[in-house]
Structure 1
Amino acid sequence: MTTDRPSLRLGTRASELAMTQSGMIADRLRTECGVDVELVTISTEGDRSSAPLASMGGQGVFVAALREALVRGDVDFAVHSLKDLPTTPDPRLTVAAIPRREDPRDVLVARDGLTLGELPHGSRIGTGSPRREAQLNALGLGVEVVAIRGNVGTRIGKIAAGDVDGVLLARAGLLRLDRADEATEVIDPLQMLPAPGQGALACECRVDDDATTRLLARLDDSDTRAAVTAERSLLATLEAGCSAPVGALAEIADGDHGDELWLRAVVGDVSGSPTIRLSATGLPSEAAAVGERLAVEMLAEGADALVAAAL
C-alpha cells in the first residue's frame, strides 16, 4: 500500500541500541505502510559527554538535538526511548505513535551466572540510575553500587574486566539487541519497578506535518499508550526527572466491567530508606488522571522531600 508520503527521513542516535530500535520502526513502515525510510544519525549531548546523566539534567540529554533536527526539517520524524523524553510536551512536536511495548522489567547481568540473592556480601553492582540504586539498596543485600555509564556492551564488558560483579540493565534493550540470554536474572517488579516508560518507543514528528502524523499513527498501540501515559503523568506531577529515584509500572488487565489500568509506583532515597510504595487503579481512558492521583497521594506521604533530595 502506498501513501501520500513515499519516503521519510528518520532521525536517530548513532548508538547500536538506538539504531536497532529505529531500524525496527523503519522496517515496520516499509512492510506495513509501503514507504521508504532513510535513517539519519544525529549526535546528542548525552552521546558526547561521559558525565553522569543526573548531573547533565537527566531527561532530555538524548532528545534535544533530535528535536531541533526535526524542527529545522532535517528529518521527518525521530524515534526515542520513551523514558528519555521530558514529560513537558514540546508544542512544536507530537508523539504520533507509541508502538507495542517491549518487556519493561530490569535485569541483572552478573559474573558466574549469579542472581541478586546469590551475590556475596560486598559485591559491586554497576548502574547509572538513581532509581535502580535506591531500590537495590532497599533490598538490604549488602552490595555496593558503582556508578557507570556507556552502551550495553560497555557496561557488560565491565564484568569481564573485573570492575564490577554485575550490572543492572533494561531487559528491553537486551531483547532488541538479541542479547537477552546474557541476563542472569529478570528482576520481579515487586523488587524493582522500572523507569516510567521503560521498554516503550516514541515516534515524534512535527505537529503541523499531518501526512507523517497519520502514517505513524498506524503503529500506535492503545494499551501501551495508556500505560505509559499513566506512568509519565505520575512523573510529571511529582516534578521529577530521571535524576530522581522514581519507578512506575502500569498494566492493562481484565476487570469486572472491562479493561482496567493498574499503576504501581515507588519513590525512594538512594540510600534505600525511606521508600514510598503505592498503587492505584482506574480506566485506561483516564490514564493521565490515574497517574496524577497516585502522585498526589505519594506527595502527601512525603515524596516531595525525597524528590527534592535527589535534585
Structure 2
Amino acid sequence: MTTLRLGTRGSQLAVTQSSHIADRLRAETGADVELVTISTLGDRSSAPLSTFGGQGVFVAAVRDALASGEVDLAVHSLKDLPTYADPRLTLAAIPQREDPRDALVARDGLTLAELPAGSLVGTGSPRRVSQLNALGLGLRITGLRGNVDTRIGKMTSGELDGVVLARAGLARLGRTDEITEAIDPIQMLPAPGQGALACECRADDADTHRLLSVLDDPDTRAAVSAERSLLATLEAGCSAPVGALAEIVNEGEELWLRAVVGDISGSPSIRLSASGPPSEAVAIGERLAAEMLAEGADRLVQASTPAP
C-alpha cells in the first residue's frame, strides 16, 4: 500500500488537526498516512502578522512542498489560506466545521462584560481588536503572538487579564474547559473560514483527490465559500478588520451571511447581511461585499493596511 505523506505545520494545534484528518482517512478509505512537518514563515517570526504585508504566511511553505511533490496532501486552517487560487493545487475537501466563534479565556472565570474597565486583553488579530473596541467596554487591548500555551500562559501568569482565541482550536486540543466565554457573533464575528479545515492536493493528482473527497461537507463548503468570496471581493488580507459568518438555515434551503468591516479604534464600522440559496454562495459573498464597498468599506480596509 502506498503511503500518503501529509504536510502540516509543526505547531501542536496544526499537528492535532492534521492527525485528525489522517485518522479519518485511515478509517474511511483504508489509506496509510504519515505526517511530515514543515516550518513556515509565520512560525519562524514573532513579528505581528499585520506587518507581513500579505496572505499565506502560515501556509506558503507547506503549499510549496505539496506542489513540488515533497508531500501528497496538506491540511491547513482554512482562515490562513489565501483567497486567490493556486493553479498547482486544488481544495479537495473541507470537512465539517468546528464551532467558528471566538473564545475568551480570562482570569477568575470572567466574561467580557464582567472584566473591569481597564483590564488588559491580548489578541494578535486586528479583526478582534476592532470589534472589542466597538463594544465600548473600556478594555485595553495588546498584541499577542505564540502558540495556545504561550497565549494562555500570559493570562495565568497575571501579565494579562484575558486572551481571545478561536474556540475551534481549543476544542481540537481538548481545552474547552478553560474557556470563560464563547463570544456571541452578534458581538464578534469570526474570521472568514474560522473553525474549518482545508485539505489540499495537487491539481493533477486524481487519486488523492478521490480519497480526500469523502471528507468534504457540502454545507461547510458553501458557508466558507460565501465568506471567502466576500473577503476576496473586498481585497482584504490578514491585516484588515474583516469578520464574516455564513450559516445554512431553513432546513438547508437558505444561506445567511453576516459581515463586518471596521476600524481598529472600533468606530466607524460597516455591518451588513445577505442571504440566498447555498448554491449561490460565491455570488452572495460578492454581492454583500459590493454593498459594503458602496458604504465605504474600501477606505476602512486601506486604512488598516500597513504601508509597504
Report if TM-score (shorter chain) is over 0.5: yes
Query: Quick one: which of 47, 53, 61 aligns to 1:65?
Result: 61
Q: Does 1:131 pair with 2:120?
A: no
Residue-by-residue CA offset, 1:212-234 (whole Å, 9 max, x unaligned): 01110110000000000000000
Match of 1:310 in 2: 304
The aligned amino acid for 2:211 is: L
Equivalent position SS for 2:118: coil
Aligned counterparts of 2:65 and 2:83: Cα–Cα separation in 1: 20
Match of 2:96 in 1: 100
Query: Quick one: which of 261, 273, 295 aligns to 1:301?
Result: 295
The aligned amino acid for 2:74 is: A
Query: Quick one: which of 86, 89, 100 aligns to 2:85?
Result: 89
Alpha-carbon offset, residue 254 of structure 1: 1.1
Equivalent position SS for 1:120: coil
* 1:76–1:206 Cα contact (<8 Å) kept: yes
Residue-by-residue CA offset, 1:226-279 (whole Å, 9 max, x unaligned): 000000000000000111000000000116xx6100000000000000010000
Match of 2:34 in 1: 38
Residue-by-residue CA offset, 1:117-169 (whole Å, 9 max, x unaligned): 01011000000000000000000000000101001110000012222100000
Residue identity (%): 76
The aligned amino acid for 2:175 is: R
Query: Quick one: which of 159, 162, 175 aligns to 2:171?
Result: 175
Residue-by-residue CA offset, 1:164-189 (whole Å, 9 max, x unaligned): 10000000000000000101001000
Matches within 5 A, 1:2-17: 6-17=2-13
Aligned counterparts of 1:268 and 1:219: Cα–Cα separation in 2: 35
* 1:81–1:201 Cα contact (<8 Å) kept: yes
* 1:8–1:36 Cα contact (<8 Å) kept: yes
Match of 1:143 in 2: 139
Equivalent position SS for 2:253: strand
Match of 2:181 in 1: 185
Query: Quick one: which of 283, 290, 309 aligns to 2:277?
Result: 283
The aligned amino acid for 1:199 is: G
* 1:6–1:34 Cα contact (<8 Å) kept: no
Residue-by-residue CA offset, 1:50-108 (whole Å, 9 max, x unaligned): 00111013520011100110111000010000000000010110000000000000010
Matches within 5 A, 1:155-234: 155-234=151-230
The aligned amino acid for 1:269 is: D
Match of 2:49 in 1: 53
Alpha-carbon offset, residue 6 of structure 1: 3.8
Aligned counterparts of 2:155 and 2:81: Cα–Cα separation in 1: 29
Aligned counterparts of 1:52 and 1:60: Cα–Cα separation in 2: 14
Structure 2, unmatched stretches of 5+, are none
The aligned amino acid for 2:277 is: L
Query: Quick one: which of 116, 123, 131 aligns to 1:120?
Result: 116
How many residues align? The count is: 305
Q: Does 1:274 pair with 2:268?
A: yes
Alpha-carbon offset, residue 30 of structure 1: 0.4
Aligned counterparts of 2:77 and 2:267: Cα–Cα separation in 1: 29
The aligned amino acid for 1:81 is: S
Equivalent position SS for 1:168: strand
The aligned amino acid for 1:140 is: G
Equivalent position SS for 1:117: coil
Aligned counterparts of 1:91 and 1:58: Cα–Cα separation in 2: 19
Aligned counterparts of 1:105 and 1:11: Cα–Cα separation in 2: 26
Equivalent position SS for 1:288: helix
TM normalised by structure 1 equals: 0.97
Equivalent position SS for 1:270: coil
Structure 1, unmatched stretches of 5+, are none
Query: Quick one: which of 107, 127, 145 aligns to 1:111?
Result: 107
Aligned counterparts of 1:7 and 1:43: Cα–Cα separation in 2: 22
TM normalised by structure 2 equals: 0.98
Structure 1 moving runs of 4+ over 2 Å = none
